[in-house]
Amino acid sequence: MFYPFDFKKWRNFFETEEQYMLFETLSADEFRPLTYLFYRPEMNLVFKSGDDWQLFVEKLKDLREKGFFLGIYAKYELSFEFEEKFQHLRQKGSELLRVMVCKNPLIFDHTSKKISGASKDIGHVLSSDEQEFFFSNLHLKVDQDAYEKKFLTLQKHLQEGRVYQVNLTDFWEASFKGSAVSLYQNLRERQPVGYASLVKCEGVHTLSFSPELFFRINKKGKVVVRPMKGTAPRFSNREEDAQSKHHLSNDLKNRSENVMIVDLLRNDLGKICKTGTVHLQSLFDIEPYRHVWQMTSSIAGFKSKETSIWDVFQELFPCGSVTGAPKIESMKIISELEEGQRGIYTGALGFIKPDNQAIFNVPIRTLTIKGDKLQMGVGSGVVNQSLCDQEYQEWLIKSHFFTEVSKPFDLLETLRWEKGEYLLIDLHLTRMKESSKVLGFSFDLERIVNFLNSVSKEFDERCAYKVRLKMNQKGMIKCKTQVLDKEEPSEPLKLKLSNHVIYDHNPFLYHKTSRRDLYKKERSQARKEGFFDVIFCNQNGLLCEGSISNIYIEREGEILTPRQSAGLLNGVYREYLIKENPSIREVLLVKKDLLTAKKIFVSNAVIGFKEARLFL
C-alpha cells in the first residue's frame, strides 16, 4: 500500500520556514518508498565558480562520514567547472551548488505512514488554509519563428555530422503573485511524479516535478541511470490514448533518440564502474503521466569502493538526456543557441545519506520563483529526423500540466445606485483600473461607463440598487442588480470572529476579485447564524477586515482602522471616509483592541458607515 505524504497538513510549515529541501515521492515505486525533508540545517555549504572542487568534495565526504545527510541543489552550469573546454563560459563567483547539511531530516515512509526525524518544536506550524496564487503574461521567451531559426541552425550541425542529437531548451516566463507553496500543492496533484521537489533557499522557490531519474546508488555500490527520451500526448479517449502509446513505443525517431542517450550513458558508466558490470536493464519502457507518455530505458553497473559518489556525479553530470550526443559537442552548440543560463533546470536535485546511498533526479518540468518573476524550463531532443513544428508542439505538450493551472477570475466592484447616480463611482473605477494594471486585465473606462449607464436606464428612481459589476481579464463586463430594502438594517450590526487566519502576503487581499472562497464560505455560515459579517485577523494576530466590510473602532475619542498592510482591501467607502475625515487614523490593531473598544463600526459602499457589535 502506498500512502502519500500529507502535504496539506504541513502547508503552514512550508509557508513560514526560511529554508528547506523537500524530496517527495508522489507515485508508488519499490525504489522510492520514502520522502525526505531537509530543514533547519546544521550548515549550508555553497560552491561557487572558481572554488577548489576537490577541497569542497572532501569536506562533503567528511560530513557524510560523520553521520550527516546532504541535500543537493546543483545548477547546470556546474558542468563548466568539470570541463576545460567550457572555461570561457564560467562566471567566477556565481553560485553553482548548494548543500544543506542535516543531522536528522524528516523521513516519511510511504508504506507505513511513519515519520521520523521531525523536531517537536514544529508542531505549532502544522496545517493552514490554502492561499491564493496567480500568474499573468505567461509566454515562451522564444516564439515559434525564433525557435525555427535555432532549429534550422541545429539541423545544419546535425547534417554535417557534428552531433547526433541536441537537447534544445528555453523558458516560459510569467509575472507571479501569491503563494509558491500553493502552486506546488496544486501542481503536485496534476503531475504525480516520482521525483517532486520543493526547495526554498535565499528567498527563491524551486518547484520541480521531474519524472526522470539521474542516478541512484545503493549500499552495494550499484549505480542505476534511467534516461528519459521520447514523448507522446495523452488523450481522454481510451482508444486514442492507446494509439498514442503504441505510436511512441514503435516510432523510429523516438527510439533513435532514446538509443543515442542510452549509448552515451552506458559509455559514461563504463568509465566509473567495474569492468564487465555495466548492463542494460530495460529498453524502450513506456511510462504514463497525466498529460504525456514518456519513453525510458535503464542502465546499471557496479562502482568500485574507491569510486566515490562525487566521482560518479562528476562523470555523469549533466545527464546526457538534457544535453545530447556526443555530450561535449552538444553542450558547445547549446551554449551557442540558448540565451542566458539554465540554472537548476536540467541540473540535479537529490541527496546523499550517511550510509553512502544517493539518489538524484534531473530537474525537468521545473519552475523557479524569485519575487514576482516565474520561470519554467522546457525542451526536447532534436535529431536529423525531427520536424520543427512537432518539436515546438512537444514543448507545449510537456508544459500542459503547468500552463493550464492558473484559474481564471474576475475583478469585482459592488456599487450603490440611488437618486439617479452611482455613488462614489470615480473611486470604484479608479480602483478597478489600478487592479487591472497590477493583475494584467484589459481596462476600457469609456466602455464600462457606457455599460453602467445603460444598466441604470432600467432602474426605478424611487428605489436604491446594489450593482455587482464583473470584468474578466479580456475586459468583458457583466453585472447583477438587486433592489435594496427601503428599511436599513438595524444597528448595531452583529459581527463574529473567524477561526481562520489570512496571510498579509496574499496579493488577492488587496484587490476585489472573485477569488474569495474563504470569505464566501465564512460569511455564508455567519449569515445562517444571524450575523451581518465575519471578521478576520492575519497570521500575526493583526486585525484586518470583514468578508464584505472594513472595520473601525472608537478608542479614547478617536476612530481607528487597521492599516492596509495588515492584509485588507482598501474599500471604496473606507477610502472616502479617510479622505473626508483626516482624524480617522490607520494603525495596527489586534483582537484585544476589538474586544476593548468603546464602539465598533463597519463600512462598505452599499451600506455606508454603520455601528456594529462583536459577539463571541
Average of per-residue pLDDT across 19-28: 88
Active-site positions read 212, 229
Residue 577, H or E segment: helix 572-580
Where along the chain do its domains lie? 8-403, 411-483, 493-614
- Long-range contacts formed by 273-282: CB under 8 A, 24+ apart: 273/223, 273/301, 273/302, 273/303, 273/304, 273/307, 274/301, 274/302, 274/303, 274/304, 277/301, 277/302, 281/224
What letter would DSSP give residue 56? H
Q: Left, alpha or beta for 492 (phi > 0: left; psi -120 to 50: alpha)?
A: beta
Q: Left, alpha or beta for 346 (phi > 0: left; psi -120 to 50: alpha)?
A: left
In the prediction, which pLDDT does 551 show?
A: 98
Asked if the model's pLDDT at residue 343 lies above 60, the reply is yes
Q: How many CB atoms lie within 10 A of CB 39?
A: 23
| Helical ranges in 273-356 per DSSP H | 309-316, 327-337
- The answer to whether 46 and 19 are in contact (CB under 8 A) is no
Name the band, by pLDDT with cuts 50, 70 and 90, for residue 32. low
Which has the closest alpha carbon to 281: 253, 258, 300, 257?
Answer: 300
Asked if the model's pLDDT at residue 419 lies above 90, the reply is yes
How many residues are listed for the chain in this entry? 616
CATH 3.40.1550.10, applies to 493-614: no
Residue 535, H or E segment: strand 533-538
Q: How far apart are CA 259 and CA 70, in angstroms?
A: 33
Residue 217, H or E segment: strand 213-217
Round the CA-based radius of gyration of the chain to a whole number and report it: 29
Predicted TM-score of the model (pTM): 0.78
Torsion on CA atoms 77, 165, 85, 147, rounded to nearest 10 = -60
Written as one letter, the residue type at 292 is: V
In three state form, how does the secondary structure of 443-475 look?
CCHHHHHHHHHHHHCCCCCCCCEEEEEEECCCC
Structure confidence by residue, pLDDT tens digits, 55-90: 999 999 999 999 999 999 999 999 999 999 999 999
Asked if the model's pLDDT at residue 124 lies above 60, the reply is no
Q: How far apart are CA 144 and CA 138, in angstroms?
A: 15
Asked if the model's pLDDT at residue 123 lies above 60, the reply is no
184: cell is 506546488
8-403, which class in CATH?
Answer: alpha beta
Which has the closest alpha carbon to 519: 101, 85, 132, 116?
Answer: 132
- The answer to whether 549 and 571 are in contact (CB under 8 A) is yes
CA atoms within 13 A on the CB side of 235: 11
SS3 28: coil
6-15, 54-63, 584-593: which range is least confident on average? Answer: 6-15
CATH 3.30.470.10, applies to 411-483: yes
Name the band, by pLDDT with cuts 50, 70 and 90, for residue 122. low
Structure confidence by residue, pLDDT tens digits, 509-559: 999 999 888 999 999 999 999 999 999 999 889 999 999 999 999 999 999
604: cell is 462598505
What letter would DSSP give residue 512? -
DSSP-assigned states of every residue in 383-446: -TT--HHHHHHHHHHHHHHHHT-S----EEEEEEEETTEETTHHHHHHHHHHHHHHHT----HH
Asked if the model's pLDDT at residue 429 lies above 90, the reply is yes
Residue 350, H or E segment: strand 348-352
Which has the closest alpha carbon to 523: 486, 485, 494?
Answer: 494
370 DSSP β-pair partners: 204, 373
CA atoms within 13 A on the CB side of 327: 22
Asked if the model's pLDDT at residue 30 lies above 80, the reply is no
Work out the angle between the directed axes of helices 252-272 and 238-250 (0-180°, nearest 10).
Answer: 50
Q: Mean pLDDT, the chain, as a whole number? A: 92
225: cell is 541511470
Q: How far apart are CA 532 and CA 284, in angstroms?
A: 63
- The answer to whether 83 and 328 are in contact (CB under 8 A) is yes
Pairing of strands 558-562, 550-555: antiparallel
Q: How far apart are CA 434 and CA 428, in angstroms?
A: 10
If one compares 4 and 492, the residue with the highest pLDDT of the two is: 492
Asked if the model's pLDDT at residue 605 lies above 90, the reply is yes
Q: How far apart are CA 155 and CA 577, in angstroms?
A: 66
Asked if the model's pLDDT at residue 126 lies above 60, the reply is no
Structure confidence by residue, pLDDT tens digits, 276-300: 999 999 999 999 887 789 999 999 9
Biggest CA–CA distance in the chain, Å, is 94
In the prediction, which pLDDT does 31 show?
A: 58
Name the band, by pLDDT with cuts 50, 70 and 90, for residue 29. low
- The answer to whether 166 and 324 are in contact (CB under 8 A) is yes
Which has the closest alpha carbon to 532: 488, 502, 500?
Answer: 488
In the prediction, which pLDDT does 522 show?
A: 95
Helices and strands (DSSP H and E) totals, the chain: 14, 33
In the prediction, which pLDDT does 159 show?
A: 95
First to last CA, the chain: 45
Average of per-residue pLDDT across 570-581: 96
Q: How many CB atoms lie within 10 A of CB 350?
A: 25
Q: Give the percent of the chain with pLDDT over 70.
A: 97
- The answer to whether 543 and 590 are in contact (CB under 8 A) is yes
Asked if the model's pLDDT at residue 127 lies above 80, the reply is no
In the prediction, which pLDDT does 125 show?
A: 56
Q: How far apart are CA 195 and CA 500, in angstroms?
A: 33
What letter would DSSP give residue 305? T
